Structure 1
């Protein structure tokens, strides 16, 4: 539903965009959710549309404020048409939650920390893990890390950290990453700067040595849905870009490979300065005629985004929604003091990571509390650097949405595969049931052969006494054929059913094994119901890789050959699987490991567990493998056994069902099925306990994530 809002005021000398083009403006948060809200358009805009000037206004307003992002609407007649579409150039990852955008202040802090800590830095490796992210391994004399350049419209950012799950080792099929890997070989980052003041563009100057003049430039534009990355030579000729901006997208600033790179048009609004007096600053702020103080600051000055405006207003003890016309002189004075503090931080580059508790957003001005990094352990470490804080925030945002989308896809695929496997089981069971009639048909043929002399030609049926019970048995006859031919057909039918039983039996067993395996995958997906840490996403990706190997899913990366059972699979490091497992501590202090998926279950039962350990699993119920690690020479107590049995019952399909039978045994009595699916084992000897499947492990002591 579209609701009208007040248009943005335009400085004197500029035409209002609504008088030029049917271009509408919407908040980025609403765009990220896939909906259009707070949209403005007029009939006059449709009648007086001029493409060139509209593009210029669009680019200007894009640079002017990070609160507004333009979207093209398809209009019909004198009003809105039946369809409203956004001009999509690509399909980014949709981040439905409200994501904090990087404004000029954040980019200034990023540039400052990169300049002081990470330059000069040698570029050792370049990887493009997806369509919107570039990872560059950089190394200085003191440390090394991964520079992340993300131009995803929903969460564009620049940060330094470790890639999720370790350094990528696969060969990606994205041309931009391949081009940069070739063009930037042997170069180093010698300088990081913002080429145009109060604009959201970072320039990385690249050269062979720190003392040499830059031979290439890498421009990173963080501008919402227009975010992009460009590589140029020393003469600003474009060598490569994340995506090319052609004439169909804009007539103002076309940037394509082979052309010349140009900076985005300068933003409109007053230039914030420390030398500006309070009276002039107050006059410019009130001239916007906005009824909210937050919007007044955003529209009056360059480089002020929603997050920064809210933080500055909150620091001064005011409300972002208050009317500037109703403010007292004391309130204006307190806000101006905070305003000057912000400008001094920009000038002196004294940035500090922090958290704004009122909005839950990060801050590069210190905020009103420390920003706690999310780790795979239960420790609470505060961020000490801007780049580490940004990497943690945007990685968490990106992985949360990726987790939800991947889980939704896997649940749908597994559900469809389970339904198909169940249909196969039902079909084979019906065929087996029908084949059991072969003895009855053979007996009817014997009766007919023994009584050929009493069969009358042309009869439709004949009733004969059974050999053993002497009960009457009616046999259907074909009046066009003799009784002998009918008996021969019955013999053939009986033999065919007998052979089909032997042929269908292994197929039924295979279908049942597949159904059991898919039920196990369903349990793994049910347990991975929400994202809390990076290990959750890695465990879900292991399920995806497992389904790809089983041909339930197509390969994710373009160009990857289809899975083949004949091709020898390279085993993954044991530490990667063990690190993602759930870890608990038993009453005696022993470690208890619980698998999150079939791959981890397979590794846990066949590679991690030793002869001193004990293996637990819900009896005849899909669930996770659980291993109680018992040190050599020690013995597990009854409390340890019950604790492990409760975990095995809880992390199974019987969760919430009260008491569940749980089998436990030594790993030496487990036999991996030859050619079986991951996680499928045969138990030769077992002991049964009753585990409490309703007891949540949240109250137990965790070594890592539960």
Structure 2
């Protein structure tokens, strides 16, 4: 899998330290089985039903406890075979972090081929593109590594079987190995907040840039007016805060598009939105699972979005051209009037005249009409009538083309919204099938009719009303015209591309909270999902009509009412079923 975004040290040494505390249930437990769901991921299951997931993906290395069970790779790697040979049935005795750094040793008590007990160590290095998982014996000789590093790649630190393991080294200090006086002496002359945060990140182990920046702000060391005595006090408080670090919560931070950007155990200020979780492993697992899915969807949908955005740009240009032609066609009526005036004044006309002055009986004003001197009176009148009919027919054709182009714009924008809100591979495949059937993508097996019906997002209001959302344009049609009953309520953002939403009533009258929730869902699954006071129309399903021959998802509706809502994902997701 190709990742387009590198997460800058979200999983820092302080997150790792607290995660290790959470591994206490694994201690003195034996390994049950070991799997390798992906080439850079190992899943160790223990007999107490706990699972340890380790990933050394260069963009997203992490360690967590997980409840998720992913299918194993069909062909076990040599590293997996070696782990199974030595660790199956082994007892996890200790988990040790090296200083405050992102290196951890899992120490197991195993049995060798002779049945004798021996100590083996699994070393996890969470170091970005240098991340690795290394298996060594009690003499620290490498048995194998998930990512072998030959001498030509790293002459100073090769990682190959039988070689002596060399820990990663750096000039950074551990906070626990630094005194308060030494800490303040190192940082006291750094007045600029950025320089101070950078020094924390560069000089001390395990501190991410985000955590460094937060700590500088928290202790008001970003203030230019801080007196020297107060600054010294603040630095000492900062040192104690890092030395005795305790989580303030477990947060995932997102951008305005709800894409996961970072996570930590402190409320970072630089992101507009955040979500809070119950424990560290829920935070880590949610972040990396969702981030992996978001990046995968981004890669999977890239060609689709590029195709649609290109078509959208061309269609918008076509609309501008059509509107210009329509403005020119608006002059058709003037040619008709001139033809009628020439006919009424035919007695003044003769061949060879270049113009004639007549009275416009519509306005009472004099009007000079140009003539073709090569034509006689009847031919000049006929020429004006021909221009009139040509422009009139052109106008009708142009209006038809304009309506088609505007419908295509709505279809393309709605499809882009569906791609943005896609929940996974299946949703994207359904969208690709639809685009293939509509002629936007080449047919690569997508055009075969799906046996599986289109899927819907599902929400349930506090009053128990079911709310369904079409995941793509075909699903929108399926929902509105096949699944919903005529008495159900249908929701859609007014004049804004988005999904069809149905509030299923089943003979009940909806309460106000359910109406507002359905409207908020419609706004969230629309192009206006980042806007405030979004207008959402709603009406009975029987008032929704599909024009003959229109594209998937296109409808007209009547007898609507309007609600104004501000969609917020964190308020909607608790109701998603």
Q: Does structure 1 conserve the Cα–Cα contact (< 8 Å) formed by 2:488 and 2:502?
A: yes
Q: Secondary structure at the match of 1:160?
A: strand
2:159 aligns with 255
- How many residues in Structure 1 have an aligned counterpart in Structure 2? 464
List per-residue Cα deviations over 1:254-281 (Å, max 9, x = no partner).
Answer: 113x34362334222455447x655444
* Offset at residue 629 of structure 1 (A): 2.0
1:630 aligns with 505
Residue of 64, 82, 86 corresponding to 1:159: 64
Matches within 5 A, 1:115-264: 115-116=24-25, 120=29, 122=31, 126-128=35-37, 134=41, 136=43, 138=45, 141=48, 144=50, 147-161=52-66, 167-169=69-71, 186-187=88-89, 190-194=92-96, 196-206=98-108, 217-232=121-136, 236-241=141-146, 243-256=147-160, 258-260=161-163, 262-264=165-167
* Offset at residue 314 of structure 1 (A): 3.9
Matches of 1:107 and 1:610, distance apart in 2: 53
Matches within 5 A, 1:30-49: none
Question: Does residue 704 of the first structure (1) align with residue 568 of the second (2)?
Answer: no
2:426 aligns with 542
Residue of 442, 454, 469 corresponding to 1:594: 469
Q: Secondary structure at the match of 1:248?
A: coil
* Offset at residue 251 of structure 1 (A): 0.8
Matches of 1:564 and 1:205, distance apart in 2: 50
Matches of 2:538 and 2:267, distance apart in 1: 53
Matches of 1:311 and 1:647, distance apart in 2: 34
1:114 aligns with 23
Matches within 5 A, 1:290-305: 292-305=195-208
Matches of 1:368 and 1:639, distance apart in 2: 33
Q: Does structure 2 conserve the Cα–Cα contact (< 8 Å) formed by 1:583 and 1:592?
A: yes
Residue of 570, 581, 587 corresponding to 2:458: 581
Matches of 1:659 and 1:175, distance apart in 2: 54
Q: Secondary structure at the match of 1:193?
A: strand
Q: Does structure 2 conserve the Cα–Cα contact (< 8 Å) formed by 1:180 and 1:240?
A: no
Matches of 2:516 and 2:242, distance apart in 1: 59
* Offset at residue 229 of structure 1 (A): 2.6
Q: Secondary structure at the match of 1:159?
A: strand
Check 1:288–1:226 CA distance in 2 against 1; reply closer, same or farther (3 A cut).
farther
TM-score normalised over the length of structure 2: 0.57
List per-residue Cα deviations over 1:619-666 (Å, max 9, x = no partner).
Answer: xx99745444233x5478999999989998997899999999988359
1:526 aligns with 417
Matches within 5 A, 1:323-472: 328-345=228-245, 353=249, 363-364=264-265, 382-395=276-289, 397-414=291-308
* Offset at residue 293 of structure 1 (A): 2.9
Question: Does residue 103 of the first structure (1) align with residue 12 of the second (2)?
Answer: yes
Q: Does structure 2 conserve the Cα–Cα contact (< 8 Å) formed by 1:93 and 1:402?
A: no
Matches of 1:612 and 1:590, distance apart in 2: 14
Matches of 1:351 and 1:144, distance apart in 2: 23
Q: Does structure 1 conserve the Cα–Cα contact (< 8 Å) formed by 2:417 and 2:497?
A: no
Give the gaps of 5 or more residues in structure 2: 256-260, 315-406, 438-443
Q: Secondary structure at the match of 2:567?
A: helix
Q: Secondary structure at the match of 2:151?
A: coil
Check 1:599–1:541 CA distance in 2 against 1; reply closer, same or farther (3 A cut).
farther
Matches of 2:203 and 2:106, distance apart in 1: 30
1:450 aligns with none
Check 1:122–1:610 CA distance in 2 against 1; reply closer, same or farther (3 A cut).
farther
Matches of 2:436 and 2:508, distance apart in 1: 44
Matches of 1:189 and 1:415, distance apart in 2: 56
List per-residue Cα deviations over 1:513-532 (Å, max 9, x = no partner).
Answer: xxx99986762322554xxx
Q: Does structure 2 conserve the Cα–Cα contact (< 8 Å) formed by 1:148 and 1:158?
A: yes
* Offset at residue 594 of structure 1 (A): 1.7
Matches of 1:305 and 1:640, distance apart in 2: 43
Q: Does structure 2 conserve the Cα–Cα contact (< 8 Å) formed by 1:115 and 1:192?
A: no
Give the root-mean-square deviation of aligned CA atoms.
Answer: 6.3
Check 1:180–1:300 CA distance in 2 against 1; reply closer, same or farther (3 A cut).
same
1:268 aligns with 171
Check 1:201–1:639 CA distance in 2 against 1; reply closer, same or farther (3 A cut).
closer
Q: Secondary structure at the match of 1:342?
A: helix
Matches of 2:536 and 2:208, distance apart in 1: 56
1:467 aligns with none
Q: Does structure 2 conserve the Cα–Cα contact (< 8 Å) formed by 1:207 and 1:215?
A: yes
Matches of 2:234 and 2:76, distance apart in 1: 51
Q: Does structure 2 conserve the Cα–Cα contact (< 8 Å) formed by 1:523 and 1:622?
A: yes
Q: Secondary structure at the match of 2:167?
A: coil
* Offset at residue 172 of structure 1 (A): 7.2
* Offset at residue 214 of structure 1 (A): 6.4
Q: Secondary structure at the match of 1:698?
A: coil
* Offset at residue 223 of structure 1 (A): 1.3
Matches of 1:201 and 1:123, distance apart in 2: 24
* Offset at residue 111 of structure 1 (A): 1.5
Q: Which moved more, 1:399-408 or 1:150-159?
A: 399-408
* Offset at residue 158 of structure 1 (A): 2.2
Matches of 2:435 and 2:90, distance apart in 1: 43
* Offset at residue 546 of structure 1 (A): 2.3
* Offset at residue 177 of structure 1 (A): 9.1
Q: Does structure 2 conserve the Cα–Cα contact (< 8 Å) formed by 1:273 and 1:343?
A: yes
Q: Which moved more, 1:600-609 or 1:224-233?
A: 600-609
Matches of 1:635 and 1:264, distance apart in 2: 68
Q: Does structure 2 conserve the Cα–Cα contact (< 8 Å) formed by 1:269 and 1:301?
A: yes
Q: Does structure 1 conserve the Cα–Cα contact (< 8 Å) formed by 2:534 and 2:565?
A: no
Check 1:203–1:650 CA distance in 2 against 1; reply closer, same or farther (3 A cut).
closer
Check 1:182–1:608 CA distance in 2 against 1; reply closer, same or farther (3 A cut).
farther
1:466 aligns with none
Q: Does structure 1 conserve the Cα–Cα contact (< 8 Å) formed by 2:86 and 2:110?
A: no
Check 1:175–1:94 CA distance in 2 against 1; reply closer, same or farther (3 A cut).
farther
Q: Does structure 2 conserve the Cα–Cα contact (< 8 Å) formed by 1:353 and 1:389?
A: no
Matches of 2:283 and 2:144, distance apart in 1: 32
